[in-house]
Amino acid sequence: MSLGFQTEPGNPAHHDYWREMVCRHHIKIAPQFDSQIGFRGQMRIDDWGPVQLSDASFTPITYMHGVDEIRQSDRDDFLCVVNLDGDGAFQRNSQSIAYKAGDLLLYDTNQVYALNFPTAARTISARIPRALITSRLPEADRQFALCLRGDRPTTQLAVSMLKNAATLSELPDEGSCREMGHSLLDIVCIAVKDNLGATLVPTPGQAAVLKRIKLSLLEQLGDASLDIETIAQAQGLSSRTLNRMFASEGTTVMRWLWKQRLAASYRALSDGSVRQVTEAAFRFGFKDSSHYTRAFKREYNLQPNKLIAR
């Protein structure tokens, strides 16, 4: 799907129109406009498989995303924002992350925040389902917002590819868009890893063990017999120690494994490598397809067969 819209000069309802269109087609926001400047804005939105790309230009504005917007949203996404022109700040609570032209901001939209553009700006944004981020960056759930500086080569490559894709005069066919959307996402995640490296993990000592355990479990997602006892035994740990390690990240080993299975199945259904819900269930460690479907619906507010039809 491709869509474009813009405000009309002199239209007294242009504030409401911009808010309504952005909320309906992109992300729920409550915009605050500069009363001293007549607002102008335009946006183009394209679907690249599961990734939505948008190219937007606008005069000064602050996008508020509060509790009401979170409740109203039926999506669970990360947003990747490339700032092409103008400076700004991402704010939540008492924290403020400044960004400038060329930087890339990746953040979880299931949070209260404000995105401030004090001057006219142009952005390229990628709206990405949470599962497609966490399946590539398992630790990303703990990171509220990451600013990737534009002076790093991997950030520059990610920015260039996102901009080129979002500004094409004509899109490839649907199948190619889907495949390229996943490739764009891979490059963004590589840039995240390059920029942050080991800062994504809590402590050096625990990080090495957790990383080893997680990598081992990711290779065994299809093993439905895994439980805390067998995992602990295979890792040479007690069940209590294993639970304590995952508790440091606010989860349990089985909960983490369950989420990785769902995320991997989401990715497989989304990119077409799995074509049937039953196949996805059994490939990723679920013993019953009905249980898998219910778990998937609870996690993503979406029936898994809807991804097949996309």
- 213 and 111 share one domain: no
Q: pLDDT tens for residues 105-123?
A: 999 998 899 999 999 999 9
- 220 and 135 share one domain: no
- 159 and 211 share one domain: no
Examine the fold and report which residue of 148, 183, 200 is the final residue of a domain before the chain moves on: 200
- 196 and 232 share one domain: no
- 119 and 245 share one domain: no
Task: Give the range of the structural domain holding residue 167, as residue numbers without chain letter.
Answer: 2-200
Query: What is the number of structural domains in the chain?
Result: 2
CB 134: neighbour CB atoms within 10 A? 21
- 191 and 263 share one domain: no
CA angle (26, 27, 30) in 5-degree steps: 125
| CATH code of the domain covering residue 257 | 1.10.10.60
Compute the distance between CA of residue 211 and CA of residue 228 in angstroms, rounded to an integer: 17
Beta strand 51-58 with 121-129: parallel, antiparallel or unpaired?
Answer: antiparallel
Examine the fold and report which residue of 200, 226, 249 is the final residue of a domain before the chain moves on: 200
Q: pLDDT tens for residues 62-96?
A: 999 999 999 998 888 999 999 999 889 999 887 89
- 196 and 131 share one domain: yes
Q: What string of pLDDT tens digits covers the 310 residues of the chain? A: 788 988 887 677 889 899 999 999 999 999 999 877 888 999 999 999 999 999 999 999 999 999 999 999 888 899 999 999 988 999 988 789 999 999 999 999 988 999 999 999 999 999 999 888 887 876 676 557 889 999 999 999 999 999 999 999 999 998 899 999 999 999 999 999 888 764 444 445 667 888 899 999 999 999 999 999 999 999 888 887 787 788 767 688 998 999 999 999 999 999 888 989 999 999 999 999 999 999 999 888 889 998 875 5
- 19 and 146 share one domain: yes
- 98 and 231 share one domain: no
Rg over alpha carbons for the chain, rounded to the nearest Å, is: 21
- 150 and 218 share one domain: no
Compute the distance between CA of residue 200 and CA of residue 208 in angstroms, rounded to an integer: 12
- 174 and 217 share one domain: no
Residues 6+ apart with CB under 8 A from 273: none
Examine the fold and report which residue of 146, 177, 200 is the final residue of a domain before the chain moves on: 200
pTM to 2 decimal places? 0.68
